[in-house]
């Protein structure tokens, strides 16, 4: 019991230190996700060995993963990305995934990056819209036409990989049964979503409103219960549990409108980003062995190759945006779209835990994702600023 208390204290201090680290006055400000991963690496078993990613810490990390995917689903606003932006985003992601598959089969064949091609391709086709959205908002880009196109592309860069990793990579039944279970799960989710969006009882709405600011917190508890329900259903139907968490987030996102919905989102933000989600990234960082960079002579070349592939894969859709982006916006659009870390961590963590990816290969993907978050948005903004000045 004493070790659990010490472990929780170290974990809490690590979670507190991460956002404070990002506020230090430096020439650039790293995203808090990167700080959490770095702190996890140092307090984990491969450096100072203060904490192990197992037991209670590991369980909290798994809860953080499900809440992260819940928040990702919650952040996708179909009202803002519908129409042409959504059509372009869907076509663009499929183009990205096709390019990623071709590239990964090639680099895998020549032995440069030894990882399951389809798993690596899914990781390459992600966009960290949860990391990008605050950056774009701070830079005044999110409300522009460029920002709306980028936000829709980024949302599909989270939705597409999630569906792919959950439904295509790891089926646990025959194709027919897997299809039946997917259809059944989608059907149940649609029924739940309809009940949430169109409540039949005004008395029920009044109860939700009255308890929003009380100790009962019924709306928040409903969201947690819905997440648990869909996670359990996804697991029982042989799907990956991340599908359940993501679907729950989408249902809550569609149902939570207006001022009361905004209040609910603030409360869920506090639970997720103030408690569970940082623990997931810290525990994920604990699993990264930094010795790979001096133990493998090709590690630096592999990370550089992955960074180039990020830009190539997520930049390929600019072919579809020729009529919608000016020439000087295309490279920044590719760089912003190639910024991907949270889902790369999720995919790498799942790949290792299921024996589909070696830990050292997962560490390379995570390292490339961290560099993309640190470098690509800064590079893209500078290109946009230089163009604006000229």
Lowest pLDDT segment from 39-43, 56-60, 69-73, 238-242: 238-242
The helix (run of H) or strand (run of E) holding residue 9 is helix 2-22
Which string of b and e fits 253-269 if b means at least 16 CB within 10 Å?
bbbbeeeeeebbbeebe
The helix (run of H) or strand (run of E) holding residue 347 is helix 342-353
Q: Which two tokens stand for residue 312?
A: 């190539």
- The 3-state DSSP class for residue 157 equals helix
Dihedral angle at the C-alpha atoms of 12, 13, 15, 21, nearest 10 degrees?
A: 170
Q: Give the HSE-up count for residue 186: Cα atoms under 13 Å, Cβ half-sphere.
A: 8
3-state SS track over 159-208: HHHHHHHHHCCCCCCCHHHHHHHHHHHHHHHHHHHHHHHCCCCHHHHHHH
Task: Give the pLDDT of residue 177.
Answer: 63
Q: Return the number of other C-beta atoms located less than 10 Å from residue 216's C-beta.
A: 13
Query: Does the pLDDT of residue 333 top 80, yes or no?
Result: yes
Could you give the CA distance from residue 281 to residue 14 in angstroms, rounded to a whole number?
A: 11
Of 219, 271, 211, 236, the C-alpha closest to 70 is 271
Burial class (CB in 10 A: 0-12, 13-18, 19+), 362: buried
Task: Give the pLDDT of residue 100.
Answer: 92
Task: Give the pLDDT of residue 312.
Answer: 94
Query: Does the pLDDT of residue 142 top 80, yes or no?
Result: no
**Which residue would you say has higher pLDDT here, 141 or 199?**
141
The helix (run of H) or strand (run of E) holding residue 100 is helix 84-109
Query: Does the pLDDT of residue 205 top 80, yes or no?
Result: no
Task: Give the pLDDT of residue 176.
Answer: 60
Rounded mean pLDDT, 114-118: 75
Query: Does the pLDDT of residue 170 top 60, yes or no?
Result: no
Query: Does the pLDDT of residue 45 top 80, yes or no?
Result: yes
Rounded mean pLDDT, 154-175: 69
Query: Does the pLDDT of residue 9 top 70, yes or no?
Result: yes
Instruction: Band the pLDDT of 310: cuts 50, 70, 90.
Output: very high
Task: Give the pLDDT of residue 79.
Answer: 64
Could you give the CA distance from residue 169 to residue 171 in angstroms, rounded to a whole number?
A: 6
Could you give the CA distance from residue 90 to residue 23 in angstroms, rounded to a whole number?
A: 36
Of 70, 43, 68, the C-alpha closest to 57 is 43
* Domains of the chain and any CATH numbers: 61-276+291-389 (1.20.1530.20)
Query: Does the pLDDT of residue 157 top 70, yes or no?
Result: yes
CA distances from 308 to 302, 304, 339 (A): 10, 6, 12
Could you give the CA distance from residue 161 to residue 137 in angstroms, rounded to a whole number?
A: 24
Query: Does the pLDDT of residue 242 top 60, yes or no?
Result: yes
Instruction: Band the pLDDT of 261: cuts 50, 70, 90.
Output: confident
Could you give the CA distance from residue 134 to residue 130 in angstroms, rounded to a whole number?
A: 7
The residue behind tokens 């499929």 is 94
Mean of the per-residue pLDDT values of the chain: 80
Query: Does the pLDDT of residue 130 top 90, yes or no?
Result: no
Which string of b and e fits 313-324 if b means at least 16 CB within 10 Å?
bbbbbbebbeee
Lowest pLDDT segment from 16-30, 311-325, 363-377: 16-30
Could you give the CA distance from residue 62 to residue 298 in angstroms, rounded to a whole number?
A: 32
Q: Which two tokens stand for residue 352?
A: 């290792």
Query: Does the pLDDT of residue 172 top 60, yes or no?
Result: no
**pLDDT of 60-101, one tens digit each?**
988 888 888 888 778 776 666 667 778 888 899 999 999 999
Could you give the CA distance from residue 387 to residue 390 in angstroms, rounded to a whole number?
A: 5
Cα of first residue to Cα of last residue in the chain, in angstroms, is 63
């Amino acid at each position: 019991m004493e070790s659990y208390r010490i472990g929780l204290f170290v974990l809490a201090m690590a979670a507190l230190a991460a956002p404070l680290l990002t506020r230090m006055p430096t020439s650039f400000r790293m995203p808090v996700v990167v700080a959490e991963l770095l702190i996890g690496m140092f307090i984990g078993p491969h450096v100072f060995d203060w904490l192990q990613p197992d037991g209670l810490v590991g369980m909290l990390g798994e809860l953080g993963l499900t809440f992260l995917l819940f928040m990702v689903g919650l952040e996708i606003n179909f009202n803002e990305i519908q129409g042409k932006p959504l059509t372009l985003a869907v076509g663009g992601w499929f183009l990205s995934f096709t390019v990623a598959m071709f590239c990964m089969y090639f680099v895998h064949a020549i032995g440069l990056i030894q990882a399951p091609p389809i798993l690596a391709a899914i990781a390459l086709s992600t966009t960290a819209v949860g990391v990008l959205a605050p950056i774009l908002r701070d830079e005044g880009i999110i409300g522009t036409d460029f920002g709306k196109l980028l936000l829709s592309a980024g949302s599909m860069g989270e939705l597409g990989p999630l569906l792919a990793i959950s439904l295509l990579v790891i089926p646990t039944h025959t194709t027919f049964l897997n299809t039946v279970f997917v259809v059944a799960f989608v059907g149940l989710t649609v029924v739940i979503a309809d009940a949430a969006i169109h409540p039949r009882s005004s008395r029920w709405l009044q109860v939700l409103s009255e308890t929003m600011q009380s100790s009962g917190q019924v709306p928040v508890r409903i969201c947690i219960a819905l997440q648990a329900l869909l996670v359990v259903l996804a697991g029982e139907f042989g799907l990956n549990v991340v599908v359940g968490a993501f679907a729950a987030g989408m249902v809550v996102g569609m149902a939570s409108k207006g001022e009361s919905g905004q209040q609910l989102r603030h409360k869920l933000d506090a639970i997720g980003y103030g408690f569970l989600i940082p623990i997931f990234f810290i525990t994920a960082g604990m699993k990264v062995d930094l010795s790979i960079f001096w133990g493998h002579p090709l590690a630096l070349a592999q990370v550089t190759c992955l960074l180039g592939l990020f830009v190539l894969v997520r930049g390929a859709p600019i072919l579809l945006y020729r009529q919608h982006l000016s020439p000087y916006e295309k490279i920044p659009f590719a760089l912003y779209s190639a910024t991907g870390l949270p889902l790369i961590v999720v995919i790498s963590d799942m790949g290792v835990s299921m024996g589909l990816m070696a830990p050292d290969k997962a560490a390379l993907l995570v390292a490339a994702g961290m560099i993309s978050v640190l470098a690509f948005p800064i590079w893209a903004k500078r290109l946009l600023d230089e163009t604006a000045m000229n």
